[in-house]
DNA sequence: TTCATTTGTTACCTCGAGGTACCTACAGCA
DNA sequence: TGCTGTAGGTACCTCGAGGTAACAAATGAA
């Protein structure tokens, strides 16, 4: 029945070996990763290939509000997924860049995203079957 | 700079080839996957290796409320990730099981989860650096 | 007759995500 | 003397997630 060869026991064992705080943190990481603008923001910074000003990111992540982008970037910075460098100039300049850890996380997410995109039709069919 | 070898252009190309509805659906799939009880529920059904009654799932997914589990299972059923079979008995019996599509999705998520668990320490350190 | 069982549904509550809109500070420029 | 541009902070709003608690429906058991 386990046709995919996934050993969920292995995952559970990994979780059991962690402290409760660590366990809940792993959960938090995955949850935040799926928040509305997080992946998109990281992808934009990854594609840029170097530091990017706040307003450039704001343009590239189409539809995000200033407030939400600020919050998203703060969280990413806190988790070590992006770096932030502020320059004491007028008008102010702040540059963001993705970190090695951020690139590693994107590498993990990448196949999932590709799979989801490639299998959209199967989901559409399932929903039509259910709704109709 | 793209040290991970990820070709995000490839992902974007995939997205560009989709209709807006399909694109937003792919986004929706990934978002729902990260909702509070979704992955846990799927993992429980996958580990069971066969059909499971509602109340068994309710026990295994510790902390979930009846209402939330019902909603979670409905969404999973709608997306073709689990099956639901109701028996006309008293008291009622309803059996849930994971589908092939569900197993495939778990297979995609698995490495991400393992990576997140394995790298918890790096996130903890980043947060301590930021907060302290 | 009354109660337990099982799978929901519904009303009501709280909390947080995320949006819009408006405010600052300060130098340069017309 | 205003006006512009940048990176944010803050007030206020709406919307949905998710919790608790109570109820339904029907049958077999006490």
What is d(CA A30, CA B113) in angstroms, rounded to the nearest whole number? 8
- Residues 6 or more apart whose CB falls under 8 angstroms from that of B88 comprise none
Q: What is the DSSP string of A8-31?
A: HHHHHHHHHTS-HHHHHHHHHHHH
Looking at chain B, the whole-number percentage of residues with pLDDT higher than 90 is 66
Contacts of residue A4, Cβ cutoff 8 Å, sequence gap at least 6:
B103, B104, B106, B107
Q: Which residue has the higher pLDDT, A106 or A34?
A: A106
Closest Cα to residue B79, out of B63, B100, B65, B60? B100
Q: Is the pLDDT of residue B7 over 80?
A: no
Distance of C1' in D17 from CA in A7, Å: 30
Of A14, A31, A124, the CB nearest to B25: A124
Whole-prediction pTM value? 0.86
Preceding peptide of B90 cis, ω within 30°: no
The beta-carbon contacts of B57-61 under 8 Å, at least 24 apart in sequence, are B57/B96, B61/B37
pLDDT at A33 over 80: yes
Higher pLDDT, A44 or B21: A44
Please report the pLDDT score of residue A23 as a whole number: 63
Per-residue pLDDT tens over the stretch B34-67: 899 999 999 999 999 999 999 999 999 999 999 9
Cβ B120 vs Cβ A26: under 8 Å: yes
What confidence score (pLDDT) does residue A3 get? 38
Task: Say how many C-beta atoms besides its own lie within 10 A of residue B71's C-beta.
Answer: 13
- Any idea how long chain A is? 132
- Is the pLDDT reported for residue B3 higher than 50? no
Q: What pLDDT band is residue B11 in, cutting at 50, 70 and 90?
A: low
Stretch 76-95 of chain B: residues touching chain A, C-beta under 8 Å: 77-80
The answer to whether the CB atoms of B116 and A100 lie below 8 A apart is no
Average pLDDT score over residue span A45-72: 96
pLDDT at B86 (0 to 100): 96
Among A35-39, B65-69, B112-116, which stretch is predicted with the lowest mean pLDDT?
A: B112-116
Report the half-sphere exposure of A12 (CA within 13 A, side-chain side).
10
Rounded to a whole number of angstroms, the distance from the CA of A87 to the nearest CA of chain B is: 19
CA distance A72 to chain B (A): 15
B20: Cβ contacts below 8 Å, ≥ 6 apart: none
Domains and CATH numbers, chain B: 15-131 (1.10.10.10)
Q: Which nucleotide does the CA of A66 lie closest to, via C1'?
A: D8
Residue A65 Cα distances to A40, A76, A101, B70, angstroms: 13, 16, 26, 34
Q: What angle do CA B121, A25, A16 make, to 5 degrees?
A: 80
Determine the Cα–Cα distance for residues A94 and A98; give it in Å rounded to an integer: 14
Residue A63 three-state SS: coil
pLDDT at B92: 95
Please compute the mean of the pLDDT values over residues B81-92 and round it to a whole number. Answer: 95
What Å value separates CA A6 and C1' D6?
Answer: 49
Å between B94 CA and nearest CA of chain A? 17
Q: Residue B79's pLDDT band (boundaries 50, 70, 90)?
A: very high
The Cα A128–Cα A73 span in angstroms is: 38
Query: In terms of pLDDT, which residue wins out, B21 or B123?
Result: B123
CB < 7 A from strand C, the residues are: A 35-37, 63-68, 71-72, 90-92; B 53-55, 66-67, 70, 73-74, 84, 86, 90-94
The nucleotide whose C1' lies nearest the CA of A94 is: D7
Q: Say whether pLDDT at A15 is over 60.
A: no
Contacts of B14 in chain A (CB under 8 A): 114, 117-118
What is the DSSP-derived secondary structure letter of residue A116? Answer: H
Protein-to-nucleotide distance from the CA of B67 to the C1' of C8, whole angstroms: 8
* pLDDT for the residue A4: 42
């Amino acid at each position: 029945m386990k046709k995919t060869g996934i050993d969920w026991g292995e995952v559970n064992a990994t979780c059991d070996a962690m402290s409760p705080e660590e366990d809940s943190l792993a959960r938090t990481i995955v949850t935040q990763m799926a928040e509305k603008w997080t992946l998109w923001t990281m992808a934009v910074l990854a594609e840029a290939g170097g530091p990017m000003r706040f307003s450039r990111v704001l343009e590239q992540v189409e539809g995000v509000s200033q407030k939400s982008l600020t919050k998203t970037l703060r969280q990413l910075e806190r988790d070590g997924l992006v770096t932030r460098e502020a320059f004491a100039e007028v008008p102010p300049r702040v540059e963001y860049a993705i970190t090695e850890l951020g690139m590693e996380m994107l590498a993990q997410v990448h196949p999932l995203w590709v799979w989801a995109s490639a299998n959209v039709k199967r989901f559409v069919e399932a929903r039509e079957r259910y709704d109709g």
